[in-house]
Structure 1
Amino acid sequence: MAAVLLNIRTAFQILAADVRSALDSDATDVDILAQWQEDVLRLQTYADQEHMSIPEDEFRNLQHSFVTMLHGLDGAIVMHLATLHAIRFRHRALCDRTAWILLHSTADYTEMLPAYRESALRLYAQAEESHALIPPDELATLRTSLTSLVDNIDSTAEDVARSTTLVDNIRSAYFVLCDRVTTAAQTQVGDADRLMLQREEVLRFLAEAEPHCALFRPAEFNDLRLGVSNMVDVLDDAVHRSSDPPAGPPMVVAQRVRTGRRGRPRVEINPTFLETSLQMRGPTGLAPVFNCSSRTVRRRALEHNLVEPGAPVIQQATDDAGNVTRTHTSTTSPVSTLTDTELDVIVSSILSVFPNFGRRMLAGCLRAQGHRVPRTRLLAAYIRVHGVTGNIFADRRIHRRVYKVAGPNALWHHDGQHGLIRWKFVVHCFIDGWSRYIVGIRVHNNNRAETVLLLFHRARADCGDPSRVRGDHGGQKWKNFFLQLEHNAGLHCSRPAHIWLVHHLFLANINVDVQDWAASWNNHSLHERHIADRSRSPRDRFIFGMIENGPRGISNHQELRVQRREALPDTVDDPQAYGIDWDVLDDPMLMAHHLANNPDEWEAANPFSPGYTRPSELSVVECEAPNCPFTPAEVAAFDAELALRVNRTTRDMGICRLVWVEALRICQQMYTINPE
């Protein structure tokens, strides 16, 4: 942005000097003056395109300078023309300039409109005085054009004035709302109902301002959205404090005591609390708690014999030959010296008691036993102990196999994501294994086999038939949103009616997000070790893979088939291992994330027990769509009433929250009126 601004400033200075020189010279040719006009218009357009890179005051000054230069060049050109040609030239220039202004009818150009209106009126008067020189048909056209031009300028000026007033009103309302929220958060801590009403007012303000976002600069409206989000957070915090007040006065663990000596009062820390605190944090972490320096915390711990005096950080020793040796003593807690085998034994014992523990819980348990294990070692131990699907005791480290399938549509992976299962949402996805292209993705309100089959058939219709399908084990934004609704807006996931309302309101919105994510994924550049051209997108690989590796599953395969030198065989020696991404299995980070998000889907049977066989069926996560509590007519009435209150098509999460609040209120009123 700085480079763009510098270029505009430099070009303007050069252009202004050239135009000034041309206007001062009476011998300048008309063609040269016209060329300067084109240069001014070109720079004016470029400056408008880079509006966001220019300070507002400087931008306004630039536009006024452009208008002044254009008027000066117009006058210089007219001096070289006869009366009729001068009128025609001024009319054409005025129409072009006014059309440009009207196309950019924002508050930035409001002050230019009166000047163009006055020019149009003067030209109209000049045309009337010179009517004898102008053909009658041309004069009539000129009159109509100039009259329409003045009307358009007047209409645009009125619209801009209204928009400016609306923007000023929104800004004023925002500052008034800030004052109200601040007052409410400080004075209504004991009144949760009034705080919730204030929160609804904040969300409604955002809903009312959203349709007018085009009137603001993008940066300003983003600041407005952020401010509204901060206000909601402040009010939520005040509601929680009012609904769960402390049972007694604050604990006093440190206080300042005046000793009668000169200097600051002494900070006294409760020794019992200090002893417990030092087991969890060091002096630096405890300093903000006690409102003192870390050195003070360290001194109090020494005074109470809670710690031993540490060795000097730097120690010097001189040997008999006079050589000086400097030794650095670290105060950082030592890292565990456990071997991998010993660490695996401890992790295995922990997981035998707490099988759902993730990395953080495992690290906490190890710290409680006196072991500080680095994150990478803990992740590696977790993979070694917990294992993966299939043969859980197989050697997965020595024989590194590469993910390999024949080509597009040779193998599709199906995955079900249950991050929103609490609210009865299930995400199903089919992805082509060779290209990583998402062939089908959808959020459903059930987990039935026929629902997945329907998505599979839709994907087949779009991308062709896969040779094989592998079922893999398997919206943070929406999850956080629904948790906020539970915490702050009255959503109860145990009530089927609430789940129905959530589905009715937001299932389509979630699917829009999912489809947008899939489109972004399919067009992003891949960065995977076994892919030769990492700049290719999944969409690129899927489409061109049909040509490079032969088409699969499409009706016109005879037309697309091409000769390949090294075609991968379409027969598979090991179906169980076909299409497994071994790089992922060997990556502790990715597997730890997968295991943490799918703790209940791993095989628990002991392969060494008598009679062990593979499970007859995969694990199933039950999810059924809730029944609608209203009749179709009542649902239609509900939708109509909600549409009058809020905008359901919005993708702003703040307004979505308001949609839930209003929808819940309408449903409660409908049920009160007609409980049956």
Structure 2
Amino acid sequence: MKRDERLWQVSQGYRAPRKRGRVGQPRCLITEEQLQFLLSFNFTVQQIADILCVSRRTVTQRLRQHNITIRGRYSNMTDAELDERVIDLVQGNDELGPDAVRARLFGEGIIVQRRRVRQSLLRTNPAGAALRAMSHRMHRRTYRVAGPNSLWHLDGNHKLIRWRIVIHGGIDGFSRMIVFLQASNNNRSSTVMEQFVQAVDQFGVPSRVRCDHGGENNAVCLFMDVFRGTARGSALRGRSTHNQRIERLWRDVWNGLSNVYHSLFTLLEQDGILDINSETHLWALHYVYMPRIDQDLQRFVNQWNHHGLRTTRYMSPYRMFVRGCLRLQSQNLTGVQGLFGADEGPADEQPAEQAVRPPVPTFNWPERVAVPANTFAVEPGRLQELQHRVDPLAGSRDRMGVDLLQEVLSFLLS
């Protein structure tokens, strides 16, 4: 950390309290819980020292005092065991690189050195490593936001809409931390609102949200206008191409998992196993693959939020969010203050740039992408029997659920 950054944090951010003794300098009070919390996000010793505004030596002494070892946190699994786990995580997806795989392992509680993960990928999939080496790095526009929870970006992804599946997501603009990511069989406003509320319960209420003009965002925008105020631009609506953070995320979601399901469903149609014009077939597809997609999305969220970002000196989104909250807790930032017990409500801030435009009634925006509801229904008794016979998350990974889909179709059509 540069000297001017250190001076700014000392004056504005969190500082470890000190306790005076009879002699010598006051002692820094750093608890074991604080150290374990910061280490759980994979902060380095130097980063912990910067956050607490103490020296690296002080952190090292406190770690030793509480019998906490850094090296002991690394997994001692053999190369063969690591290769087997990497193959299981990658599942033939050549787009996943060392940082993504390492983040997925960390999300499962397995901490492995980057060097070992890179070597494992070379051993298990050398062709994929060569493909990634030849790919071009994407150049992005400069993006800046005040702090954590200052601006959330919301959007829906329609890559799988042919099969009536929509993925809704939200990302914190400051840290790039995914706050929610979930697949649905509809594009209703109530669905997006439900996911947004779950994210708010976990991460707090953002100061502002940015989304497009789709009607699926109406409930969230209404909530933000009521909770934060209407004259400050609490809900910024515009074209999806201007929603930079979430649009970049969709590219990684496609590379990470959507492309696999898109190719699989297309192949199922070509082989005559799936008929998208049949409500029964679509019901069976959702029964088997919606839980699988959601499970993979949660794995992706863990991977994304734990992976190091090149432009932030390989700080993960989780670490960026935590460090930003601690650094800015004394600032009058609406999105941060609520995390530290400040009274929530309409924010007294300068209006956002778009707030100077004439206000548009929230519900004037139509739902641009409508997903037809499935008209096929299963009797409760038959559904219970099916749930007893077929677990959507069971089966061999090599089969990718195709055998389960065929079993469900056979049951429904019998």
Greater radius of gyration (CA):
1
TM-score with structure 1 setting the length: 0.31
Structure 1 or 2: larger helix share?
1
TM-score (norm 2): 0.50
Indicate the structure whose relative CO is greater, using CA pairs within 8 Å and at least 6 residues apart. Answer: 2
